[in-house]
Structure 1
Amino acid sequence: MSTAREVSGLAGLRELKKQQTRDALIRAAHELFVSRGYETTTVEEIASAVDVSERTFFRYFAGKEDVVFALQETVEELFLTLLRNRPAHEPPLAALRATLEQVLERVGESVAAVIPIDLHLRMWQLIETTPALIAVQSWRSLETEEQLARAIAERAGTSVEDDQRPRVLVGAFFGVLRIAMQQWGQSEDATVTGAMRQARSFLDHIPSVFEPGWAPQTQVSPTS
């Protein structure tokens, strides 16, 4: 008769095996997407690369879109957690920027156990340059931005129902960030440093774009 400890141990091994299979599917999918393209890669090819059936793939993911954004969800959860832990006295925009810096510094910790960081970054670039994935990313971002707006409102002692500013700020911040990442996605610099440099160069303009009367500016490459 099995003891409670043996049953618990077997359950733990099953969960570990499930996690390993899920991670292997993510890794194989990302490798295929980056090397062959998202549209041309099939679920059958992803499953075959891990030596499992398509039925097994669908136990873990609803489809290709789901596996594309599996690690993005981890990063989004990290962003929300870190934002909530920022110092209470920090202004909202400064808190968002500091959180972004923290996320990009720690992104390796969140994804390295599943895929190499360079593969994650190349996948990020693929998302930002694939029309079908850009559309999905935009739709998914709405929910994340709502959560962040509520977190900003809570920090400020207000609510998104009574105060429009948290949603406006988060919308502006992530709208600018999306443009920055799309530009970065078209570059050959698939590094965290390159992504952060591009993000900073765009986010630096947020305060000035609301000032009346724009003076001409000389464009400076963020990679210089």
Structure 2
Amino acid sequence: MAEPEGSGPITGLRDLKRERNRVLTAETAWRLFIQRGYDNVTVADICAAAEIAPRTFHRYFASKEDVIGEPLRYMTSLVSEHIAGAPAGMPDPAVLRSAMHKLGVFVVEHRDWLGALRTVIQNSAHLREGHQGVPPEREQEIIALLAARHGTSGEPSWQQRLQVAYAVTAFRIWHDEFLRGKVLDPLAQLDEMVATIELTSS
């Protein structure tokens, strides 16, 4: 899913192949998790199904749990890229609203896949404990990007921290409701929920 990085034609080609292989390995692992349950799949199973050596798997992922975190990493990168590319004069709440909307579009387009992965996580006691939302370090990245838009040094303000925490929480609640089929007009409801972020800036 992620865009490959490269500094030149040869490196770019190599990175493109590496990223494609990484994605194919992850997709193979997810299929196995969905079919058998996360706890019943080993790295050896993934390697056999993907027709790769264990050393190759560990070149892409530290562990099979690292594969589960891939969608969240990608979704966080969508938000980060959107914030980094937002117009300089756009108010922070508006930037966060548009970033959450973009993320919502991705979720709507990949509902079946994300829903299946959510079921995989819910059916594994081990995963349920460690996948309850955006990791603190990822949230800090988003806060830092929001603060960097203003060109100021030092710690982000409490308002910025609160706005990001609010947006992330609103999105998490919407995401859960949407995947459970409780939302009739998903993007409109997401916009409505995240729009209340203005309350944190008043």
- Shared topology, TM-score over 0.5? yes
Taking structure 1 as the reference length, the TM-score comes to 0.66
Does 2:45 match 1:45?
Answer: yes
Q: Give distance in 1, aligned partners of 2:169 and 2:73.
A: 18
Aligned residue type for 1:86: A
Number of the residue aligned with 2:91: 91
Equivalent residues of 1:128, 1:182 under 8 A apart: no
Structure 1 residues 170 and 17 mapped into 2: Cα distance closer, same or farther (>3 Å)? Answer: closer
Number of the residue aligned with 1:167: 161
- Counting only pairs closer than 5 Å after superposition, residues 46-85 of structure 1 correspond to structure 2 as 46-85=46-85
Q: Give distance in 1, aligned partners of 2:34 and 2:62.
A: 20
- Counting only pairs closer than 5 Å after superposition, residues 21-36 of structure 1 correspond to structure 2 as 21-36=21-36
Taking structure 2 as the reference length, the TM-score comes to 0.72
Structure 1 residues 123 and 83 mapped into 2: Cα distance closer, same or farther (>3 Å)? Answer: farther
Runs of 5+ unmatched residues, structure 1: 1-7, 109-115, 212-224
Does 2:190 match 1:181?
Answer: no
2:89 counterpart SS class: coil
- Counting only pairs closer than 5 Å after superposition, residues 127-166 of structure 1 correspond to structure 2 as 129=122, 132-138=126-132, 141-158=135-152, 161=155, 163-166=157-160
1:52 counterpart SS class: coil
Q: Give distance in 2, aligned partners of 1:100 and 1:126.
A: 23
Aligned residue type for 1:46: I
Does 2:118 match 1:125?
Answer: yes
Q: Give distance in 1, aligned partners of 2:185 and 2:37.
A: 22
Equivalent residues of 2:22, 2:60 under 8 A apart: yes
Equivalent residues of 1:184, 1:194 under 8 A apart: no
Flag the structure with larger Rg: 1
> Percent same amino acid at aligned positions?
26
Runs of 5+ unmatched residues, structure 2: 1-8
Q: Give distance in 2, aligned partners of 1:195 and 1:43.
A: 36
